[in-house]
Amino acid sequence: MPLDTPLSVTDRLFFAELDRDASERIVRDALAGAEDGELFLEYRESEVISLDDGRIRAASFDASRGFGLRAVSGEAAGYAHAGELSEAALRRAAETVGAVRQGRSGTLDVAPRATNARLYEDANPLALLDFGAKTRLLAEIDAYARGRDPRVKQVMASLAGEWQAVQILRPDGTRVADLRPLVRLNVAVVVEQDGRRETGSHGLGGRFDYARIVAEPVWQGAVQEALRQALVNLESVPAPAGEMEVVLGPGWPGILLHEAIGHGLEGDFNRKKTSAFAGLLGQRIAAPGVTVIDDGTLPDRRGSLTVDDEGTPTNRTVLIEDGVLVGFLQDRQNARLMGVAPTGNGRRQSFAHIPMPRMTNTVMLGGQHAPEEILRSVKRGLYAVNFGGGQVDITSGKFVFSASEAYLIEDGKLGAPVKGATLIGNGPDSLTKVTMVGTDMALDPGIGTCGKQGQGVPVGVGQPTLKMAGLTVGGTAV
């Protein structure tokens, strides 16, 4: 009996009712004369189960199936989608996207190269753990957190999982498929002492089944980390304000890199010259020692993909090398218009969304300095370990980020934890202020979701400990 492959699994999902030969003919005719395009077929199952204050507050399950048909000619793209798989719906979509190629006779771009890589398991995680086991786990998390410290007043926990199956058909007959698991565990703890309440949270996940996050040492570690953060915040003092040296911790603080710098390195913003980095390819934009990559090939990581949503294998793309801008993140359309190769960064939220250049796992590589050396070098500053929300303006590069866990640095030693610290700066300018890069590069625990033009996709970030000179810190100290 032949082994199942992503292509055979998705054939059964999509072509039980929809005739494959007819679909290929419709796609071929709809995209005749277009320069690029594809039929994107998707089936997705997803669930979320959440507990709050000892009770299951919400449980949801959703299954969806549909297609998106795209035709690309020059800078124009026609897109139509439907939440049904039928020949009639596909023909209606073909009529819609055909308008984009009227009066054109473009040459079809070459198909994505083939790959045999598999970066994660194919199995559907939602089917590998029953509902009762998931609810019992959340109840255990609640009891364990309350038993760790009498100051715990509220526990919130959730399990989320999804399984996405995609197949991509091109007008030349090329077919690519992928099966994508994704799971996540979140824990938040509220503690109270002397009338003061504070919260700590921790999450983890990736492209694997639930077994990795429901193991007792793993979920207990998540609870302990959330509780640790909450107790630290109980001792926090108002954050100071002003310009000072800032040390960013390893791992999740890379979200600042992702937002303040990563989006500005996506191909569409640079082709349209709306990015602060437009026109700077080959120029120094960061301090020596700063190397930034986007790597969608890391096994099991939240932001990784065997192939992107256009069928291109993902890649390890160097964006900044030793401070010099050397590349951008490209989907197929922007790569062709800019005269470069696609990098495997064409992503979409679902079949109802058009693909665009997006990050996968964006990482600053490690440097030469031990983390302890970096801290000792700071006379007075801020050590930011975890971040909450933030925002960035792509055109100007200006950003604002709030630190959910941060400490004063005084005479090279960690001081009191602070609350209410925000980092304010400019992405391109902040890269030039990196003065020390640590040896302790780490990836985030698997919690990131990136938004762009109304679309959200899972991503990863990472970085070592960094020292940055002269960042503006917004604080609450009077």
List pLDDT tens digits, range 152-192.
999 999 999 999 999 999 999 999 999 999 999 999 999 99
Q: Is 64 exposed, middle or buried (0-12, 13-18, 19+ CB in 10 A)?
A: middle
Q: Are strands 55-73 and 36-52 parallel, antiparallel or unpaired?
A: antiparallel
Flag whether pLDDT at 105 surpasses 70: no
Flag whether pLDDT at 2 surpasses 60: no
Band of residue 231 on the pLDDT scale cut at 50, 70, 90: very high
Flag whether pLDDT at 293 surpasses 60: yes
Averaged confidence pLDDT in the chain: 94
Q: How confident is the model over 196-212, as a mean pLDDT?
A: 97
The 3-state secondary structure of the chain, one letter per residue: CCCCCHHHHHHHHHCCCCCHHHHHHHHHHHCCCCCEEEEEEEEEEEEEEEEECCEEEEEEEEEEEEEEEEEEECCEEEEEEECCCCHHHHHHHHHHHHHHHCCCCCCCCCCCCCCCCCCCCCCCHHHCCCHHHHHHHHHHHHHHHHHHCCCEEEEEEEEEEEEEEEEEECCCCCEEEEEEEEEEEEEEEEEEECCEEEEEEEEEEECCCCHHHHCHHHHHHHHHHHHHHHHHHHCCEECCCEEEEEEECCCCCHHHHHHHHHHHHEHHHHHCCCCCCCCCCCCECCCCCCCEEEECCCCCCCCCCCECCCCCECCEEEEEECCEECCCECCHHHHHHHCCCCCCCEECCCCCCCCEECCCEEEECCCCECHHHHHHCCCEEEEEEEEEEEEECCCCCEEEEEEEEEEEEECCEEEEEEECCEEEEEHHHHHCCEEEEECCCEECCCCEEEEECCEEEEEEEEECCEEEEEEEEECCCC
Flag whether pLDDT at 103 surpasses 60: no
Flag whether pLDDT at 477 surpasses 80: no
Residue 104: the pLDDT is 59
CA distance 155 to 251: 25
Q: Domains of the chain (ranges plus CATH)?
A: 6-234 (3.30.2290.10), 238-474 (no CATH)
- Residue of 470, 377, 380 whose CA lies nearest to 423: 470
Q: How confident is the model over 192-198, as a mean pLDDT?
A: 97
**Paired tokens of 285:** 């934009």
Residue 396: the pLDDT is 77
Flag whether pLDDT at 4 surpasses 90: no
Band of residue 1 on the pLDDT scale cut at 50, 70, 90: very low
CA distance 381 to 374: 12
- Residue of 375, 445, 387 whose CA lies nearest to 413: 375
- Residue of 93, 82, 85 whose CA lies nearest to 14: 85
Q: Which of 307-316, 360-369, 419-428, 432-441 has the weakest average pLDDT?
A: 419-428
Q: Percent of the chain, pLDDT > 70?
A: 98
Residue 390: the pLDDT is 73
- At residue 392, φ and ψ (nearest 5 deg) are -145, 145
Flag whether pLDDT at 429 surpasses 80: yes
Residue 98: the pLDDT is 84
List pLDDT tens digits, range 239-291.
999 999 999 999 999 988 888 889 899 999 999 999 889 999 999 999 999 99
CA distance 369 to 439: 6
List pLDDT tens digits, range 16-69.
989 999 999 999 999 998 999 999 999 999 999 999 989 999 999 999 999 999
Residue 99: the pLDDT is 82
* Predicted TM-score (pTM) of this structure: 0.95
Q: Which of 48-62, 101-115, 137-151, 396-410 has the weakest average pLDDT?
A: 101-115
- Residue of 391, 388, 444 whose CA lies nearest to 233: 388
Residue 183: the pLDDT is 98
- Cα 381 to chain centroid distance, Å, stands at 30
**Which residue has better confidence, 124 or 392?**
124
Query: How far is CA 339 from each of CA 59, 326, 332, 371, rounded to the nearest angstrom?
Result: 48, 15, 10, 41
Band of residue 399 on the pLDDT scale cut at 50, 70, 90: confident
Flag whether pLDDT at 391 surpasses 80: no
